Amino acid sequence: MFDIKEALAKVPTKPGVYIMKDQVGTIIYVGKAKNLRNRLRQYFQNTLTNRKVSSMVDHIEEFEYIIVENEVESLILEQNLIKSNMPKYNILLKDDKQFPYIKINIRDRFPKITKTRAPKDDGAIYYGPFSSAISVNESIEFLNKYYKIRTCGLNLNRKDKTYKVCLNYHLGLCDGPCAGLISEEAYREKINAAKDFLDGKKSDLISSLESEMYQASSDLDFEKAAKCRNTIEFLQNLFTKQSVDTLSFIDKDVIGLAKGEENACIQIFFVRGGKVLGREHYFINDIADDSREEILAAFIKQYYMGYSQMPNEIIIEDRLDDQDLIEEFLTKLKGQTLRIINPQRGENVDLLKLAKKNALDMLLKHSDRYTKRNKINRENLENLQEMLGLKNLPHRIEAYDISHYAGDQSVGAMVVFENGEAKRSDYRKFKLRENKNDDYQSLEEVLTRRFKRLVNRDDNNESFHLFPDLIMMDGGKGQINIAKGVLEKLNLDIPICGLVKDDFHQTRGVIYENVEIEVPVNTNLFRMIYIIQEEAHRFAISYHRNRMSTRFYKSELDNISGVGPKRKKALIDHFKSIEKIKLASMEDLTKVNGINKKVAKDIYDYFKGE
């Protein structure tokens, strides 16, 4: 466990989002706070009575935080991170409900002002997201009444068709565009006025409401005055500025840089589908004589050389000396256009400010912590090198694991650790070409595919062309021998070690060159090895669960009439594998919950070829 007092002392008293992680770096909880320091302190006091929170605190190995401008930003960012990471201790909703937006479809002849929770890249104008659905509903209702905007569902895009006016026209709430009683130009002026208000360009509307409120109060019409006051509050709530959700659907990375005398911190915000879904930070040492542009250029070239999912845009503050050349280089790596942008205004500037603010906070308060962490990682790798008698320091370690469900839908996973830290951009998933109930065969296929690509260099990602300094197998001599056999066929010489477990399935040591080496549990080296092993296991299981979901999981059972998702799951749960289902008798099949005689006969006949 890290030094809690020291860590909390460096947390700012600003609004933001905090991220709790366990010992393998998995996010287990995401929360928001008006005051980050005060909120985090509450978790580590001895007065906790909530069992769930107490259990979570026991598993916290470290925490991070992201500073934002206001509580609205923290609320939206919190929800984005929860949906993208699905932390264990957060309350997780089954649906994907989003914050509300105000939509104006300006492509229509007579646009409407509506609320939506699913913004799309459809040419419409979206305002938001907003934290209060009530404010959005009340504001839309007021704008429709004030500017006499239509609320009907009629399609008015055809110029040759008109309709009878509805009750809203007779009540003076609409100018009757359906009946051709207002021109497109006049109606568009009303829409533009509403847009100007939502853009924050004019305050005449609120001033008018305030005058109306004061007049109603003078006339002792307190009900009307209260209604005007509430409307003003709803409208003002729309203008709480936030930048963690954008209305651009372009995938982008926003890079902020904070430079000190000897060190620099780079903060990257990952914006996908208009939402900030995560961030990473990197410390760079010995940069006293380097300019900001040189640091950014070197970082971008090295970082994106090994990045598997490159964005469409990279947002940076300073223009690089050879920016056009780097942009061309990254476009070639990506296989499609990638732009490097130096914004001067708009949402990208706001995102840059947020990234820079967090980079500066990280540099000022946490550079010593990460320097210490890097030192520990270096010592771990040196101890591992000495323990195994390796020629070179194992800078790059690759670990592999296999996951399957009763021998069906097997998948493989590769995780990469560089200099003791997980390098998630280099992780790889392997969908095995054949369903195998044999981990050794599955492992052989994964390793063959990985290292054949390395030898043949037929992968577009440069990071996949890097040789590991050490291969870690989740297992003992059997797994090691499989890996050695694959490497021998390809004439490769890479050290391979295994991670062995005791009778309680707990890691007990390392096996190398047929010699088992015990690693003391209460050491940093053991912790690093344990983290690598658990990360490979987690990544494999995560990928397998995705494939086993209804959307992805396919098997021969899908070809049988009457066998849907529920019956398929019941069959697998009962027999544990497809092979056993194939061998089952009619009597055995009818013992499965939900399988009647007719369905059992269909299954039996299908596999017997009748």
What is the reported pLDDT for 383?
Answer: 92
Give me the number of domains the chain comprises: 5
Q: Is residue 243 part of a domain?
A: no
Which range of residues forms the domain containing residue 350?
A: 252-371
Residue at which a domain ends, from 54, 85, 116: 85
Residues in the chain with pLDDT < 50? 93-96, 244, 550-552
Give the domain CATH number at 305.
3.30.420
Shared domain for 225 and 271, answered yes or no, is no
Indicate whether 447 and 330 sit together in one domain: no
At 564, list the tokens: 């849907």
CATH code, domain carrying 570:
1.10.150.20
pLDDT of residue 552: 44
pLDDT, residue 516, reads 87
Q: What pLDDT score was predicted for residue 484?
A: 92
Cα separation, 286 vs 264, in Å, equals 9
Q: What is the pTM of this model?
A: 0.49
For residues 272 and 199, state if they share a domain: no
Does residue 305 lie in a domain region?
A: yes
Q: Strand ranges (DSSP E) for 183-262?
A: 252-259
Shared domain check, 539 and 455: yes
Residues 6+ apart with CB under 8 A from 508: 500, 501, 502, 518, 519
Return the number of other C-beta atoms located less than 10 Å from residue 263's C-beta: 18
DSSP assignment of 439-461 equals HHHHHHHHHHHHHHHHHHT--S-
DSSP-based helix, strand, coil % in the chain, nearest 5: 45, 20, 35
Collapse the DSSP code of 59 into the 3-class scheme (helix H, G, I; strand E, B; otherwise coil) and give the result.
Answer: helix
If asked whether residues 543 and 561 sit together in one domain, one would say no
Q: Are residues 465 and 512 in the same domain?
A: yes
Do residues 526 and 446 both lie within one domain?
yes
Same domain, yes or no, for 283 and 351? yes
CA atoms within 13 A on the CB side of 192: 6
Domain CATH for 20 = 3.40.1440.10
Q: Is 391 part of a structural domain of the chain? A: no
- Are residues 469 and 405 part of one domain? yes
pLDDT on residue 379: 92
Same domain, 544 and 570: no
Residues 129 and 26 in one domain: no
Q: What is the pLDDT of residue 399?
A: 92
Is residue 244, in this structure, part of any structural domain at all?
Answer: no
Is residue 245 assigned to a domain? no
Per-residue pLDDT, 47: 63
Answer whether residue 517 is part of any domain: yes
Distance CA 305, CA 463 (A): 7
Asked if residue 340 is part of any domain, the answer here is yes
Last residue of a domain, one of 317, 338, 371: 371
CA distance 432 to 250: 32
What is the per-residue pLDDT for 393? Answer: 92
Domain endpoint, select from 371, 406, 435 = 371
Are residues 402 and 540 both part of a single domain? yes
Q: Is residue 231 in some structural domain?
A: yes
